[in-house]
């Protein structure tokens, strides 16, 4: 969420900035509401002050054995007024809050303009897209032919957008998770964490999935307030919710492997073939909690940490910076890594690395004490390192041969018990 002070001081600026996202912020409506709020708050607080003073009076008078009936009479009038004002104030504050919660983050100045993914800007490329002297197959053809990728059984037991992996592919997915976690913990300085895969709505609010994106989540039936996580970002970033840490403890760097669950509401008909877009997929996620002045450097580091995985696997990719219209609700700036998929002859997203600056920290009240002893919001970042299901696809498609065998990338072989070809 944005700083309400900034909204009050310079709503025009916020409105202009949000226009880059094609988000319309109604300045007049906001200012009117805030004016109402201010009046209601002033009145309410004056009445509260009066109530407090009179109550104190009563206490003292009683102690001296004086009669307090007259003052108590006056109080009932004050209390009536107070109740009315409190109700009004709560209502206005609720309205302001609703507006505030719907406002996306301000974009960093370096984010390019543009409406949708067509306007994302490529910033770098690594490797050469694989060339084959035969017709490259996609992962579905490769996987189903050997009986290792089974959408039919998954559909029977769960429905569409699920998969069953068997034998070597199940093993390779596990190997990829292990491989990624090893690199991030041993070489990049992240602490591995194991976290709940069900979270409460406060956590989803903290990272920005609620209230606006409830329909993208899976909610658990029953008494309890629990939702399946759409990404490990939710439980891990929420470590910080309501916490104050000392500046010395920053940066905090966590990496977690979790399954991720997404309803994919609104993506009907999109990527219906194969494992690209599933309701459930594995992901290794990096999260950093840093000081404000360090967050944009940290974003570059997270991006390179994600790149390392693809480089070690020897798979071509490119990096794009998302344009204004494609950048997520909470993010100030996002890089996507797009991996080359020979089966589609396209680069497809395999990682998303974002700097949320203080947007999530405000929502979850996550602060640190700086060198001067002042409290400040931390900055939060996250990046996929990487989406494991899509990495599996990328390995399959880029390392296939004419017979439909899949060669295991050298870096992954130790994690596959030395097996070189599937």
Helix axes 27-63, 69-102, angle to 10 degrees: 150
Q: Catalytic pick from 20, 264, 349, 369?
A: 349
CB of 244 or CB of 265, closer to RNA: 244
Least Cα distance to 163 among 279, 290, 303, 331 occurs for: 279
* Minimum separation from the CB atom of position 95 to RNA (A): 16
Taking the CB of residue 83, how many other CB atoms lie within 10 A of it?
A: 12
Beta-carbon contacts of residue 356 (< 8 Å; ≥ 6 apart): 105, 208, 330, 331, 332, 379, 380, 381, 382
| Annotation says 352 is catalytic | yes
* Minimum separation from the CB atom of position 247 to RNA (A): 13
Look up tokens 């990624």; give the residue.
180
Answer whether the bond into residue 211 is a cis peptide, omega within 30°. yes
Beta strand 252-261 with 191-193 is: parallel
358 vs 217: CA distance, rounded Å: 24
Q: Catalytic pick from 262, 303, 348, 363?
A: 262
| Annotation says 76 is catalytic | no
Beta-carbon contacts of residue 183 (< 8 Å; ≥ 6 apart): 308, 309, 312
Least Cα distance to 321 among 129, 85, 113 occurs for: 113
Taking the CB of residue 162, how many other CB atoms lie within 10 A of it?
A: 17
CB of 221 or CB of 375, closer to RNA: 375
Beta strand 346-355 with 333-341 is: antiparallel
Residues within the interface to RNA (CB under 7 A):
5, 8, 38, 41-42, 44-46, 48-49, 51-56, 58-59, 62-63, 72, 75-76, 79, 223, 244, 375
Residues forming beta bridges with residue 369, ordered by sequence position:
246, 375
164 vs 148: CA distance, rounded Å: 8
CB of 96 or CB of 419, closer to RNA: 96
* Minimum separation from the CB atom of position 330 to RNA (A): 20
| Annotation says 349 is catalytic | yes
**Inter-residue contact 366 to 236 (CB < 8 Å):** no
**Inter-residue contact 316 to 340 (CB < 8 Å):** yes
CB of 49 or CB of 265, closer to RNA: 49
* Minimum separation from the CB atom of position 193 to RNA (A): 17
Q: Catalytic pick from 20, 37, 277, 312?
A: 277
CB of 5 or CB of 270, closer to RNA: 5
* Minimum separation from the CB atom of position 9 to RNA (A): 10
* Minimum separation from the CB atom of position 11 to RNA (A): 14
What is the 8-class DSSP label of residue 181?
A: H
CB of 94 or CB of 267, closer to RNA: 94
Catalytic residue numbers read 262, 277, 349, 352, 390
């Amino acid at each position: 969420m944005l700083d309400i002070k900034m909204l009050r001081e310079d709503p025009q600026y916020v409105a202009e900035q949000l226009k880059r996202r094609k988000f319309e912020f109604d300045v007049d409506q906001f200012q009117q509401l805030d004016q109402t709020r201010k009046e209601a708050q002033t009145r309410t607080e004056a009445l509260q002050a009066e109530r407090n003073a009179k109550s104190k009076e009563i206490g003292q008078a009683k102690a001296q054995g004086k009669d307090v009936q007259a003052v108590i009479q006056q109080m009932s009038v004050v209390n009536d007024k107070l109740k009315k004002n409190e109700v009004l104030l709560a209502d206005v504050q609720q309205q302001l809050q609703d507006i505030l919660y719907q406002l996306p983050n301000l974009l960093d100045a370096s984010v390019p303009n543009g409406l949708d993914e067509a306007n994302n800007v490529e910033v770098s490329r690594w490797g050469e897209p694989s060339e084959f002297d035969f017709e490259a197959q996609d992962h579905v053809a490769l996987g189903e032919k050997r009986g290792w990728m089974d959408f039919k059984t998954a559909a029977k037991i769960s429905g569409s957008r699920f998969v069953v992996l068997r034998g070597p592919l199940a093993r390779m997915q596990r190997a990829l998770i292990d491989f990624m976690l090893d690199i991030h913990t041993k070489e990049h300085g992240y602490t591995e964490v194991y976290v709940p895969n069900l979270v409460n709505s406060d956590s989803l609010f903290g990272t920005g999935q609620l209230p606006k994106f409830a329909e993208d989540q899976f909610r658990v039936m029953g008494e309890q307030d629990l939702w399946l996580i759409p990404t490990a970002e939710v439980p891990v970033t929420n470590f910080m919710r309501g916490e104050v840490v000392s500046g010395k403890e920053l940066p905090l760097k966590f990496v977690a492997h979790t399954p991720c669950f997404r309803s994919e509401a609104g993506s009907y008909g999109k990527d219906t073939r194969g494992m690209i877009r599933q309701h459930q997929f594995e992901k290794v996620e990096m999260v950093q909690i840093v000081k404000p002045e360090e967050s944009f450097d940290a974003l570059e580091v997270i991006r390179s940490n994600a790149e390392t995985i693809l480089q070690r696997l020897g798979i071509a990719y490119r990096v794009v910076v998302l344009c204004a219209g494609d950048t997520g609700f909470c993010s100030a700036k996002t890089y996507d890594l797009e991996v080359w998929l020979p089966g589609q002859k396209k680069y497809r997203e395999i990682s998303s690395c974002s700097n949320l600056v203080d947007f999530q920290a405000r929502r979850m009240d996550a602060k640190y004490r700086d060198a001067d002893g002042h409290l400040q919001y931390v900055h939060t970042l996250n990046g996929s390192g990487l989406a494991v299901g899509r990495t599996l696809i990328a390995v399959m498609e880029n390392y296939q041969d004419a017979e439909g065998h899949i060669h295991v990338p050298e870096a992954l072989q130790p994690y596959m018990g030395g097996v070189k070809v599937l």
